[in-house]
Each structure stands twice: as structure tokens, then as C-alpha cells.
């Protein structure tokens, strides 16, 4: 068969793991407009398999990574031929061999024909009861057989909101707080939380970049200038990066703006000398993955750690999306970039209506640092006690449990992780934890308003600001000695206990001891959050 004939071949096969189902209770509202403009990301497989164990802790340069583990130019050309044969165009500016992404654009009619799929308009409700509309599909995508061995995923045909922000704003009525002022008095600035965890006081993060991913909302510099001025600090150097057309769009202090500002104010308070690179993307599986790969392959800002405070239950995702994300996190590991991810705020069920045990993704990827939540007890500026964060049923609770998708990684073999519900699962989350209780949370300013925020959303940037450790090193005996083991409390189905547990992981940090284990003495001017190769 000639190079150009496969594109019109009648031999087509389902794209592996591309099956998609509708949200429970979704209502079909009609067919999509055939002329509606649709953009998809075709994710290609690697030229060479990436084996992190073979790297032995070494990091690859961006150049070496691109040559070995990016996409094959010939594979990208095959997708270009496929696009041309189906009245689709390639957005070269949004395509990248190192990101293994070919961006295709075209009408809904052309996309339906190209991937043998029906696109419909649907109405559904999220877990907070808010109505939303989306373009959706059911079943598997179908592609020419010649593409089956080079394509890993096709994302963007379904544009439902994929993830939720994992923050909780202190609300006296919702959280059952008898004395709201007392709860506010028990809150802390992020810098005070860092002091409670004994973070190195003379490491600023100068010369480092912390990447933060956002799927909505925005920030206002006037808020940040006033907030950091009130803390006696300079406002951070912030770079905003647009992904798939999304930008910083502030407007709702009780919505995604709270997430964006919480992430910035926590990370920048912990590492005041670091640059903060914000990656804004649409809240779809396509936008989410595009933002991850854009951040980890950003040779302009060169982040050493990526903080993610968004996610949803594993059952909400397609297999192709989870595989694509996990592949991206492996790329980050090979490049020496650690990814910290919030483990969720809905306890052991992760908010799924069946009330069974579920964990949050992307926290369940074995190639990220999953961050759970605790509740602090303090006295005169000292940490006197710490338990699992659980305000249920009025409020939230730390996510945690066992993945039904990702197998038990080697670094958890001796952690007594409970058995998974599915035979293919086994990865336990979280890995680590930190202050997440909104009743003892973080004082934040957003959209001109002051408030107290918590949730595991705060823990991901807290850990990103301290040190982004690779999972295998975190599970060594040495590092265990630098953790505060949390042994009291539960998140529903799982209880805390000595050693690793499915509520708080290995525990919360003792910052100075962790820095010492990484050969970063507290007098060092190097960033305390400089990422160690997570391979």
C-alpha cells in the first residue's frame, strides 16, 4: 500500500482504550451543529520506550529526550495525511513532536466522519448540583488500521468539564462551626504553616520556577500586591502561559479564582524567590493534558516542579486519557520535574454517588507525588498535634485509598497498602500530607476579599514550594525519619496508623530534615523546592 493510500483504506479498527460513556443522568439535547468548529489533540506514541528504572535516577536533557522519546516525525506525517483526506487541518503552532501532539481542526461533520463517531449535545449536573452542557460521544473511536500502532489517544471530541478544583473555603454554616471567629483565629498565613513544618528559613527558591496548572479562573495583581505587602514580602514574579486559548480570567472569588489565588499565595509564600509560571487551560481532558505537556516541555520558563490542584475520580476518565497523562508524568520524571497533585476533598468515596471507595486522578498516577490533608493543632506558634482532615458530612475530608487502575509500584511494596477492588490496581494514595482543614486553614486574599481556605489544593503547592521529592526516595527509610507520622483520624473507609496509610501517606514534612537528606543545608541559597530527579 502506498504512503497515501492508507488514509482512504476501508480497514479501520477501534482505538484502544478510547471508549467513553455518559455521566450518570446526562440528557441528550440533540445533535451537534455539523458546522461547529472542533479541535482535537492526537497523542502519538514514543519513538523509543521510556524506562525510568534504566535511567537510575539520572535526568535527561531536553535535547536528548526529544531525540529518543518524542514522537516519530514519520508518524506525525501520517496523521497529517489522514487529516488532509478527511477535510481536517493541522494547527502546526499547537503541534509538537516533543509533546507528541498533533492538533487537528475541522467541522463537527468532518470529525464525525474521520473518527466514525456521533457527536451529540448533552445536559448534565456536576456533583455540586450545577447544570452544565457539553458535546459528547459514546463508545470507542475508530481509526485506520495503519494509525493504530502510532496513536495513543485522541482527546477533544468530548468537551465535558473533566476536573474539579480541590479547595474548600471556610464556611461557618456548612462546616458546622459554632464560633466562626474562633475558627478564623486558628487560621494561618502560608508562611506560618511553613514555620510549623520547620521549612528552611534561609532558602528562598531564587533561580527556580514553580509551575502551577489551572483549569479556570484567574488572579488579580492588585490582590497579590496587597496580600504580600501585608505579609512584609515582595509580590512574586508571575508568568502567565495560555494553553489552547485559555487565559487568566478572574471574576468569581467563590469559584476557580479561589483556587488560582490559593495556589499562588501558598507557593510564593513558601518560596518567595521563585518565579511562578501559571498555565491556564480549558477544563477538558484535552486542555488538561495539553497544559501538563506544555509545562513540562517549557524550555523558556524551565519549571523544576509542577503543582496540580485539580482532578476527579478515576471512574470519570477514559483509559486513553489516564494513559496519556501517566505517560506525560513519566516524561516529567525523566526530565527531573516532580509533579505534586492534590488527592481530593471528598474522603474515601471521592464524591462518587455509589459510595464505594474511589481515588482521585491524576493523584493516583504512580509518577506523581499525591498530597493528602491533615488538621493541625497549635499552641503559641508550635505544632502540638496533627490528625487526618475529616469534616464530613458537613464539609470535606482528605482523599485517599487504592487505585483501581494503576498497579502497586515498587516503592510501596513494603507499605501494607490495602488490596484494590480491581485486579489491575494497587497504587496507594496519598504519598504525603499537609494542612488542609479549612477551620485551621490558610488566610488568603482573592478578588479583593479576605478569607480562609483549605482543601488538599493547598497541600500540592505547599509541597511544591518545599521540595518536590521523587516517590522512590520518599519511601526510603532515611526520608521516613524526616516525616511526621499521622496516626489519628480517618477519611471514611480508611484510618491513619503507624507508617504509610491511605489517609495521610507517609505523613507531613519536617522541612529542615528533608532538606538535609537532599544535601541542601539550610544555609544554601539554592531553592528548598529544587526538584530531584524523580526517575
Closest CA to 512 of 471, 473, 486, 481: 481
Q: What residues contact 350, with CB distance under 8 A and at least 6 apart?
A: 312, 313, 344, 358, 359, 360, 399, 401
Helix (H, G, I), strand (E, B) or coil at 445: strand
Q: Which residues are catalytic?
A: 259, 263, 457
The CA distances from residue 427 to 24, 51, 401, 474, 492, in Å, are 26, 19, 9, 15, 18
Cell numbers for 305: 516542579
Say whether the peptide bond before residue 48 is cis (omega within 30 degrees of 0). no
* CA 370 – CA 428 distance, rounded (Å): 9
CA distance 269 to 263: 10
Name the E strands within 442-501: 442-446, 449-454, 483-484
Q: Distance from first CA to last CA of the chain, Å, rounded?
A: 41
Distance CA 115, CA 120 (A): 14
- The three-class DSSP label of residue 505 is strand
User: E strands within 330-396?
Assistant: 338-342, 360-361, 369-379, 382-388
Per the CB < 8 A criterion, the answer to whether 267 and 210 are in contact is yes
With 0-12 CB in 10 A as exposed, 13-18 as middle and 19+ as buried, what is 492? buried
Q: Report how far residue 451's alpha carbon sits from residue 475's, in angstroms, rounded to the nearest whole number.
A: 36
Amino acid at each position: 500500500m502506498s504512503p497515501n493510500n492508507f488514509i482512504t483504506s476501508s480497514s479501520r479498527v477501534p482505538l484502544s482504550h478510547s471508549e467513553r460513556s455518559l455521566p450518570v443522568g446526562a440528557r441528550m439535547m440533540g445533535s451537534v451543529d455539523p458546522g461547529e468548529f472542533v479541535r482535537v489533540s492526537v497523542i502519538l506514541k514514543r519513538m523509543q520506550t521510556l524506562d525510568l528504572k534504566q535511567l537510575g535516577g539520572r535526568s535527561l536533557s531536553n535535547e536528548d529526550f526529544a531525540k529518543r522519546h518524542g514522537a516519530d516525525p514519520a508518524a506525525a506525517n501520517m496523521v497529517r495525511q489522514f487529516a488532509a483526506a478527511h477535510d481536517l487541518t493541522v494547527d502546526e503552532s499547537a503541534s509538537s513532536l516533543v509533546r507528541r501532539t498533533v492538533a487537528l481542526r475541522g467541522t463537527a461533520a468532518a470529525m464525525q466522519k474521520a473518527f466514525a463517531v456521533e457527536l451529540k449535545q448533552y445536559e448534565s449536573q456536576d456533583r455540586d448540583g450545577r447544570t452544565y452542557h457539553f458535546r459528547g460521544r459514546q463508545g470507542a473511536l475508530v481509526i485506520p488500521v495503519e494509525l493504530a500502532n502510532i496513536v495513543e489517544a485522541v482527546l477533544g471530541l468530548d468537551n465535558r468539564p473533566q476536573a474539579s478544583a480541590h479547595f474548600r473555603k471556610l464556611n461557618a454554616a456548612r462546616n458546622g462551626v459554632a464560633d466562626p471567629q474562633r475558627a478564623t483565629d486558628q487560621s494561618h498565613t502560608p508562611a506560618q504553616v511553613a514555620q510549623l513544618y520547620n521549612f528552611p528559613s534561609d532558602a528562598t527558591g531564587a533561580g527556580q520556577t514553580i509551575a502551577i496548572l489551572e483549569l479556570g479562573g484567574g488572579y488579580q495583581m492588585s490582590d497579590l500586591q496587597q496580600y504580600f505587602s501585608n505579609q512584609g514580602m515582595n509580590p512574586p514574579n508571575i508568568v502567565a502561559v495560555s494553553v489552547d486559548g485559555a487565559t487568566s480570567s478572574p471574576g468569581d472569588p467563590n469559584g476557580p479564582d479561589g483556587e488560582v489565588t490559593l495556589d499562588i499565595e501558598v507557593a510564593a509564600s513558601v518560596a518567595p524567590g521563585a518565579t511562578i509560571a501559571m498555565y491556564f487551560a480549558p477544563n477538558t481532558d484535552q486542555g488538561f493534558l495539553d497544559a501538563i505537556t506544555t509545562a513540562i516541555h517549557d524550555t523558556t520558563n524551565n519549571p523544576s516542579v509542577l503543582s496540580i490542584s485539580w482532578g476527579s475520580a478515576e471512574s470519570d476518565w477514559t483509559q486513553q486519557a489516564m494513559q496519556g497523562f501517566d505517560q506525560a508524568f513519566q516524561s516529567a520524571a525523566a526530565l527531573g520535574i516532580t509533579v505534586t497533585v492534590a488527592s481530593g476533598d471528598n474522603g474515601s468515596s471521592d464524591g462518587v454517588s455509589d459510595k464505594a471507595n474511589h481515588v482521585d486522578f491524576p493523584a493516583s498516577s504512580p509518577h506523581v507525588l499525591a498530597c493528602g490533608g491533615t488538621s493541625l493543632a497549635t499552641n503559641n506558634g508550635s505544632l502540638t498535634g496533627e490528625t487526618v482532615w475529616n469534616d464530613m458530612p458537613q464539609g470535606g475530608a482528605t482523599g485517599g485509598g487504592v487505585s483501581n487502575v494503576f498497579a502497586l509500584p515498587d516503592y510501596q511494596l513494603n507499605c501494607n497498602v490495602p488490596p484494590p477492588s480491581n485486579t489491575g490496581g494497587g497504587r496507594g494514595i496519598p504519598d504525603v500530607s499537609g494542612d488542609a482543614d479549612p477551620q485551621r486553614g490558610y488566610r488568603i486574599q482573592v478578588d479583593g476579599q479576605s478569607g480562609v481556605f483549605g482543601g488538599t489544593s493547598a497541600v500540592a503547592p505547599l509541597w511544591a514550594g518545599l521540595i518536590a521529592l521523587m516517590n522512590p526516595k520518599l519511601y526510603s527509610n532515611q526520608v521516613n525519619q524526616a516525616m511526621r507520622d499521622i496516626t489519628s483520624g480517618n477519611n471514611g473507609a480508611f484510618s491513619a496508623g503507624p507508617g504509610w496509610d491511605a489517609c495521610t501517606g507517609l505523613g507531613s514534612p519536617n522541612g529542615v530534615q528533608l532538606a538535609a537528606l537532599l544535601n541542601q543545608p539550610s544555609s544554601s541559597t539554592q531553592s528548598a523546592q529544587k526538584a530531584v530527579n524523580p526517575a
